[in-house]
Structures are given as structure tokens and as C-alpha cells.
Amino acid sequence: MWWGKALGAMIGLYRGGPFGMLLGMVVGHGIDQLLARMLRRSSGPATPQVHSQFFESTFQFMGHMAKAKGRVEEVDIAFARSVMTRIGLTPAQRERAVELFNQGKSPDFDRDEQLRQLTAWLAPHPSLLLLFLETLVQTAYANGRIDPAERVLLQRVCDALSVNRIQFEYIHRRVLAQRAWQTHQQSSAGPRRTQDMTLQEAYDVLGVKASDDDKTIKIAYRRLMSQHHPDKLMSQGLPDSMQKLAKEKVQGIQAAYSAIKVARKNAT
């Protein structure tokens, strides 16, 4: 793994001269290490226990995140319900999801033990861990902002998943851009067109900058598509009931890449 250091060095040199190049190489090295660790941990098809662990942990920590700021608000409950509706849970699955959400917001919820179990089951399936973290960030934004207590909880989760702060902020920016895209889709009368995504949203969804070249952007696009592709996530243990979460993310990634390609073509 070397492309992260090379990319970081180029961006740093462009933006901050020799010192910026060194800083960029340090950041890029961290990204290379994360990707290498993910590749080493990747394994074969997931077991039913992995399916169950992902489903249960997701809704438990959605409840725990909602409670982190002191009390669960109506917007937190509405967000959880919207997720259950979007992924098309059956009545029995919905009842179980509500039960898990309530477990997570209970004072007796053992967060550290649940994180230990989560990482033990999902460590060989890094794309699922990434989807889990992204879902928690979206949950924190149910009321439009991240509360300090929610940020502390996210940091604890990142520590358990071996995600450092720079990597988290990269994920954070992508989630915000994807959230804006989904909000526009849901508020419009029909499906949102690719050209309706702002160029800055598109760059943020892919986690790249406007100054990056076409090759760098294509690499970022392919990496995200690989991480979030529903078939890959299903093989890693994503429950059937939660496929739609992955499909929504893929749609946003594809729309972002298309928006960037259209903008660059028109600029030439």
C-alpha cells in the first residue's frame, strides 16, 4: 500500500509546500495502514451470527446514541422509525428493532461489552464496520447537529474499531454530504437528478478535493463502490433486511461521481 502516501504528498505539496508535503505523507500513511489492515482482516462468507450481530448492534447503538445527550428526543425516535421503514422490516423484525433500540438507551446497557462483541464478530468484515459507523454518525445528526456527548461516544466507538481521528473526519464529511443528498431526494417530488447534487457535495461524498486529478477521483470512487456494494456487504454479513441502506449509499456515490464527470466535461 503506497498510493495514500503519494496522494497525500501531492496534495500537501500543492497546498502547503514542503512542510505540507510531509504532513500529507503522514496522513496518507495512516490511510494506507487502515486499508492494509482491512485487507488483512477480510475473510470469506459471513455466518448467521455475523448477520445477527450487525443487526442487533446497529439498533442497540442507535438507541445508545440517542440517549447519549441525556434524553431521547422525538427526532431520535422518528429517525429510528424512518430507518426501519426505509429498509422494509417485517412486523416481527420491526418489533425486534424497537426492543434493541430500547436496550441501547437503557442505563443497564453495557456499551464496552457490546463493542467488544461487535469487533470480535465483525473484525473480518471491515465494510460492515464502516457501514455501522456511518449509521451511527447519521443517528447523531437526527436533530441536525452532533452533541458533545454524542461526539465522545463516537470517539469511543472509533477507538474500539481502530479508526483514528483523521480517518473519522474523512468518514464524517462523507456522511454529511450523503445526508444532504438523501434529504434533497426525500424532499423533492421525484427522484433527484445527478445535476441537482452540488459539486461540493459530490466531492465530499467521494472524500476528494476539487484540486484532485481525474485518476485520483476514479480511484476514490472505485474504492467506495467496493466498500459499499450490496453484494460485498451481503457476503460479509449484512442482513437481507438492511440491503437498502447499502443501496442508498451506492446511489449517492454513483451520483457524486457522475456529477463530477459532467462538471469537468463541461469545464473543458
% the chain with pLDDT above 90: 24
Give the pLDDT of residue 144. 85
Q: Which of 111-115, 122-126, 187-191, 243-247 has the highest mean pLDDT?
A: 111-115
Confidence band (pLDDT; 50, 70, 90) for 97?
A: very high
What are the tens digits of pLDDT across the range 229-257?
777 666 655 656 566 667 777 888 888 88
Examine the pLDDT at 110 and tell me if it is beyond 90: yes
Number of alpha carbons in the 13 Å side-chain half-sphere of residue 36: 11
Examine the pLDDT at 127 and tell me if it is beyond 80: no
Q: Decide: residue 145, CB within 10 A, 0-12 exposed, 13-18 middle, 19+ buried.
A: exposed
Write the DSSP assignment of the chain as a string of letters. Answer: --HHHHHHHHHHHHHHHHHHHHHHHHHHHHHHHHHHHHHHH--SPPPHHHHHHHHHHHHHHHHHHHHHTSS--HHHHHHHHHHHHHTT--HHHHHHHHHHHHHHHSTT--HHHHHHHHHHHHTT-HHHHHHHHHHHHHHHGGGSS--HHHHHHHHHHHHHHT--HHHHHHHHHHHHHHHHHHHHHHHSSSPPPGGGS-HHHHHHHHT--TTS-HHHHHHHHHHHHHHH-HHHHHHHT--GGGHHHHHHHHHHHHHHHHHHHHHHHHH-
Give the pLDDT of residue 228. 74
Question: Of 143, 11, 134, whose CA–CA distance to 66 is shortest?
Answer: 143
What are the tens digits of pLDDT across the range 131-187?
888 889 989 988 888 899 999 999 999 999 888 888 788 788 877 777 776 665 555
Give the pLDDT of residue 89. 82
Looking at every residue in the chain, the average pLDDT score rounds to: 76
List the single range of 92-101, 186-195, 232-241 with lowest mean pLDDT: 186-195
Please identify which residue in the block is written with the cell numbers 487502515: 34
Confidence band (pLDDT; 50, 70, 90) for 201?
A: confident
Examine the pLDDT at 122 and tell me if it is beyond 80: no
What are the tens digits of pLDDT across the range 26-85?
444 454 455 445 444 444 555 677 778 888 999 999 999 999 988 899 999 998 998 888
Q: Which three cell numbers stand for residue 235?
A: 457476503
